[in-house]
């Protein structure tokens, strides 16, 4: 049986010889350092590809006292936001020569996040990005436990005194609520985030703030669990109560379930009820009707968060928090409310539903 011999690895010297440059220049290109002309960088990159050169990250880590890995603590990757954030961070990390380790927490509690960060530190990550909804007190407490570890929080309120890269959730919520009021709606219902979602509840705060500016209060508010089924159940609860002509939903996935519940009740969107979601998931534009929503650019947020983390390796104190504003996306699920006789029909339907429920 033939003996397999180990291939001789390609070295910096091999790449330098083929490219006609010094080993130091090759090292600068491989480590993505400045002060190399575009032409020389291209020549070195071509030579490295031709030789199938694989950088020795272990040697580089020892020399620079870094592992070139970062950790990302997040929740359910089946949800739109965490999955898109992960994609954005991974692309930015790969472009910078870093590897990403993802740690999924079962809940957004201080204990769960602390345990996840501790496990990542045991793997010698250079820094961590934390996408878990945390109160200012919990985020500050966690930061104090990590004095020597670069970190970026991605789901805290803007006034939390920790390094952060954020989306202005309340601003986006206000855009959605103002849109409905501008259309003429005054009877607005909410499907809110889960009770433990600290930051996302600023969406509800934004909705309430806009209604209060017009001396209005929500007809009713029911919390969901982020899922389509949760939105479906929440909408059914709302439909058993006082009538409404507009519905603000805390994310698009719950809006999917709400649309189903409205359809089952025989209500037309937007003729009978206008619906607006939050996040702008890929399927939102394909729903019937296409869903008005608030767009959050999660891949860009992930990339910015990673850049913010890298900046901490060279800056002291850390750079200021980065806050990105969402964008209102108008489609066909929102329209002005119908005439009062339409509202009377809704009242009758709600009364009938309560009567049938009482009969068992």
What does each of the 360 residues of the chain score in pLDDT, given as a tens digit? 444 434 567 787 888 898 898 888 887 887 777 788 988 999 988 888 888 777 655 455 444 556 889 999 998 888 888 999 999 999 999 988 899 999 999 988 899 999 999 999 988 899 999 999 888 999 999 999 888 889 999 998 888 999 999 889 999 999 999 999 999 999 999 999 887 666 667 899 999 999 999 999 999 999 998 899 999 999 999 999 999 999 999 999 999 999 999 999 999 999 999 999 999 999 999 999 999 999 999 999 999 999 999 888 876 666 677 888 999 999 999 999 986 545 556 666 776 777 777 776
222 phi/psi in degrees, rounded to 5: -130, 135
CB 228 within 8 A of CB 278: no
Q: Which residues contact 244 (CB under 8 A, 6 or more apart)?
A: 187, 188, 189, 219, 220, 238, 273
With 0-12 / 13-18 / 19 or more C-beta atoms within 10 angstroms meaning exposed / middle / buried, residue 83 is middle
End-to-end CA distance of the chain: 79
The DSSP code for 292 is B
d(CA 13, CA 10): 8
Joined together, the tokens standing for residue 270 give 């937007």
**How many alpha carbons lie under 13 Å from residue 256 in its C-beta half-sphere?**
17
CB 265 within 8 A of CB 253: no
**Alpha-helical segments (H) within 52-133:** 57-64, 80-95, 110-122
CB 44 within 8 A of CB 29: yes
Would you state the pLDDT for residue 3?
43
Q: Give the distance, in angstroms, between the CA of residue 291 and the centroid of all CA atoms in the same chain.
A: 19
What Å distances lie between residue 281 and 40, 61, 91, CA to CA?
A: 42, 39, 19
CB 326 within 8 A of CB 296: yes
Joined together, the tokens standing for residue 28 give 């600068």
pTM over 0.85: no
């Amino acid at each position: 049986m033939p003996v397999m011999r180990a291939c001789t690895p390609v070295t910096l010297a091999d790449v330098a010889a083929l490219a006609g440059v010094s080993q130091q220049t090759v090292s600068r290109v491989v480590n993505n350092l400045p002060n190399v002309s575009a032409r020389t960088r291209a020549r070195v990159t071509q030579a490295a590809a031709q030789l199938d050169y694989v950088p020795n990250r272990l040697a580089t880590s020892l020399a620079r006292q870094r592992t070139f890995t970062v950790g990302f603590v997040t929740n359910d990757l089946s949800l739109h936001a965490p999955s898109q954030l992960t994609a954005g961070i991974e692309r930015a990390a790969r472009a910078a020569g870093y590897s990403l380790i993802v740690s999924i927490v079962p809940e957004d509690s201080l204990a769960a996040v602390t345990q996840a960060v501790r496990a990542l530190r045991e793997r010698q990550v250079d820094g961590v990005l934390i996408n878990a909804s945390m109160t200012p007190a919990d985020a500050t407490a966690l930061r104090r436990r990590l004095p020597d570890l670069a970190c970026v929080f991605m789901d805290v309120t803007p006034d939390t005194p920790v390094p952060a890269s954020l989306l202005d959730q309340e601003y986006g919520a206000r855009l959605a609520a103002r849109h409905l009021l501008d259309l003429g709606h005054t009877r607005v219902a909410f499907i809110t985030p889960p009770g433990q979602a600290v930051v996302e509840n600023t969406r509800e705060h934004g909705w309430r703030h806009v209604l209060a500016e017009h001396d209005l209060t929500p007809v009713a508010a029911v919390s969901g669990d982020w899922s389509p089924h949760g939105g479906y159940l929440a909408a059914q609860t709302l439909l058993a109560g006082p009538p409404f002509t507009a519905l603000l939903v805390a994310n698009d996935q719950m809006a999917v379930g709400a649309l189903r519940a409205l359809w089952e009740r025989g209500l037309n969107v937007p003729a009978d009820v206008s619906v607006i979601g939050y996040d702008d998931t890929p399927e939102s534009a394909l729903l019937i009707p296409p869903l008005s929503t608030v767009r959050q650019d999660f891949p860009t947020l992930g990339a910015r968060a990673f850049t913010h983390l890298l900046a901490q390796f060279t800056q002291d104190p850390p750079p200021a928090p980065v806050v990105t504003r969402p964008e209102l996306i108008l489609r066909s699920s929102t329209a002005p409310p119908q005439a009062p006789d339409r509202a009377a029909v809704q009242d009758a339907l709600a009364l009938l539903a309560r009567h049938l429920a009482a009969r068992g």
